[in-house]
Every structure is written in structure tokens, then in C-alpha cells.
Structure 1
Amino acid sequence: MEILVCVKQVPDTTEVKIDPKTNTLIRQGVPSIVNPFDKNAVEAAIQLKEKHGGKVTVISMGPPQAKDALKECLAMGADEAALISDRAFGGSDTLATSYTLAAGIRKLGKFDVIICGKQAIDGDTAQVGPEIAEYLDISQITYVAKVEVNGDTVRVEREHEEGYEIIETQTPVLLTVVKSINEPRFPTVKGTMKANRKEIPVITVNDVDVDPDRLGLKGSPTQVLRIFTPLQRKQGELIQADSARESVTVLIRKLSEAKIV
């Protein structure tokens, strides 16, 4: 079984910085981590490999420093990795990102199952995974909490607000997984040493068949007009009285004076 996992290196949430000129995230020099949901995706892929055999390949799009994220995934147990990196891809929104990733996936070959985390913690859009499936013209199932594979059939439990849906489809398929699907394993010392020796190939704009007008900022229809810090809300008033009835009376009086009721 050929399994591909899309991972993203995201800024540490306590260190997010925005370029005031381009309104895009500043990644150079900012502490970064592997997107937590993507670790669940890597773990799901490794578990499928352990059960059914095959190979796990991880792919990421980003600056050269994103190789650190890929090496962490290799240390967890992934077999191969590839980085899509070129200045032409800089500033991509979800549409341009998914277009580029789909091109990179075609470059790598055919896969039975592609797994993504349900969303990235920096953008929280949950759009890239489904958009990749659309560009590749394959089936997709989002918010997967459990996955089973039997030959060419993939059976999953899809999590939603009211419970779970049981869905079956045929490979190739793209899945986005939720946090509850598993507990990601820690990289081993042996795995880390092996990952550090692994050469990670870089896919540039010259290596893929793409339309230059659909890449980076130029190919991103999403435009950020303004970024600002919301004003801090004033704290409410704590009503203290001798009884609940008296507290309610005081509350009603204050609401009436404010012409709320």
C-alpha cells in the first residue's frame, strides 16, 4: 500500500508574526512545530503500514526550514519525504497551496491513500486537504476518527456534531483526520539518527507541470485587507447580595436602567 501524508510546519502559536506589507505570516526565524493534526495523520499512516505493509511518504510545502518537520516525521516511522520549496510558491493561500501540493503529488507518483490533518493551527481553514482531492480528482472523506482498509475498500468513521457516520469508498482516496483518531508516537533515538542521515529531495517550480499564474501571491484569490488586534472587552459587574432573589432584583433594575430590558 502506497500512503502519502501531507504535513505542514507551522509557527509556534505563541510566536505568530505578520508581515505588515504583505499581510502574510513571517516564518523565517520564528520557532516552528509540526502541525499537531498532521502528527495524527502520520501516526494513522504508520499504523496502516504496520497492519497492511507498504510505504509511507510525507510531503510538505514551505521554506527550506520545513525539512525539520519532515525529519521529525521520518523519525516517527515514515519511509520517504519530499519538500516542495521555491520562492514562486511564497504567499500562497489555500487554493494556490493545494494546487501546488497536487502538482507535487503527481510528480511523486500514484498513491492509494493520502492522509492530511483536519486543519492547520495557523490558518484553521480545513480547506487544503479537500482542495487537493479536487485537483487530483479522487474521493475524499473529512473528519475521520477511525479508518480500516480491506483491499481497495476504505471504511471510516466520520466524526460530526451529532455522532459518527460510517462511510466506505474505493482507493485512491484522501482522508483528513481528527485528533481523536490516535495518539502520535514519539520519535525514537534510532529513528532520529536515521532521519538525520536521510537526504530529502526538494521539488521546485521547474520540476512540476504548473501554470505560473496560479502560484504564490499571484495565484491566490484570497486577499487580506487589514490585520488588527481586537479591543479587549470590559469585564462585567459581579452582583453581590444576601440572597438569590435580591441578586435577581438588582440585575433586573440594572438592565432596565441600561434599557436592555
Structure 2
Amino acid sequence: MSSQSQEGFGPVQLARWLGMKEWQLRRAQNLGLIPPPDLHAHRWSHALARTLPDRVEQILAEVGERPEPTADGKTSRPRSREGFGPVQLARSLGIQEWQLRHAQFRGLVPPPDIEGRRWSDALAETLPDRVEQILAEVGDHPGIGSEKSAQYLAERTALDVQRADVQALHERGILRPTGEFRGWPLYAVKELDALAPDQLLAVVADRQRWLAASLTNAEAAELLGWSVGRFEVTAERGGLAPGRFGRYARADVEGLRHDR
């Protein structure tokens, strides 16, 4: 557990940690055998993950075997009499499964009303009239991640845009994700194009100012003429915590000279 990020588990990490395949985890979620993520709606906390290992045997027994693909390469999944699963609902609406996920992410499709994992016939019948709105909002492309978004913005603006800048725009509520993939946000190109130049310039400048005014632990230790270990222990004892990117403010580091 200690090797995992403090931000919990994404779906791939959780599946591996539980000794399951990713498709088994997804199906277990659809069946309600694994609770929804409790961190930012896309990651499982350590506390929640610890409740699952004892249930893996039961989960795998209920998940069953993976369906074999049919001649057209699609997985055969007969529709349950108890409403629609996500794949079935997407097909019935004539949209892609990722478009359904993104529509749920944006609140355009209500949550499943049968045990939290399937949509009833009654609820599904209310959705065809929303398809036009869904397609208009989620578009015809699933979006791109923060790394590719940064590359796209850098090429479009000639600014030194980094992944951290895209994440900062998200955290500030300026850039809204269109959906997510394996727990990571995806951004529509039209949303990236809609960013105001001054908003983008501000986050890039903030990052560059912090990098110029801060040091890594190794750089801080070198500045003080200490070992990295001595610096980290002294900083911790003095209540000096790293900031963004795990870096320390140069002024705070220099203040440690007087604490020796």
C-alpha cells in the first residue's frame, strides 16, 4: 500500500493491486460489486481499497468469464430484462459508449436507477430526446489528456505550455474536462481553443516564477553545503514543507542557515 500514490488508486492500479483484470474491475463496478471511486469521482482512496481484498473471490465468481467476440469483432452481451447496462444504453441511443460516459460526467444523462448500475426501461425511454444535446456538448471526439493538451496549446500559442499548466487551469475552474479516461481528465479541443490568452499566459508565468524562486531538495542541500538527508531532516523539524512540484521556496531554504 505504501508504494501507491497518496491520491489513491486509479482503475488500472486498483485492478492490479487486487489481482484482477481491468475488464473484471469494470464489470464488477457495473454490477455494483465494487463501490464507486470516492476521490474526485475517479480514484479510490486507500481506506476504501482496503475493504476489497477479502471480497475478491466473491467478486470474480459473480463477474464470470469474459464474453467471446462475435464475427464482427464486437462482444456479444444479451440485454438483461432488468433495464440497460452502459453498452446497451449507448447502442440503443445510437451513440458511442465514451459519449455516454462523457454525458454522465456532464450530468446530461442521469445515474442508473436500478441498483446504481443499470438504467430502467422507463428512464431509458426519456433519453432519446436528449441525444442531440448530448452530441452537441460532448462532440465526436473523446478529448485529449493534459500532456497532449499542453502540446496542442504550445503549438497554437508559441508559449511554453506544460502539463502542469493545463492541470492548473483545471484546478482554477477555467478549463472544464469533457470526460475522463482511466480516472484522468480529458479536454475537448474546442475548450482549449476557447481559453483566453491572458488566462494561459498567467498560469505559465506563475509556474515559471515559482520554478525561479524555488529549489529541489538536492539544490537546497547544495546551496547550504549539506547532505540531502541533513536538509530534509532539518526542514521537517523546522516545519518547512515542500510546495508545488515538491520544491522549496529559496527564501525559506536560505533562512535555515540561521537555524544551524
TM-score (norm 1): 0.19
More helix by proportion, 1 or 2? 2
Q: Quick one: higher RCO (CA 8 Å, sep 6+), 1 or 2?
A: 1
More strand by proportion, 1 or 2? 1
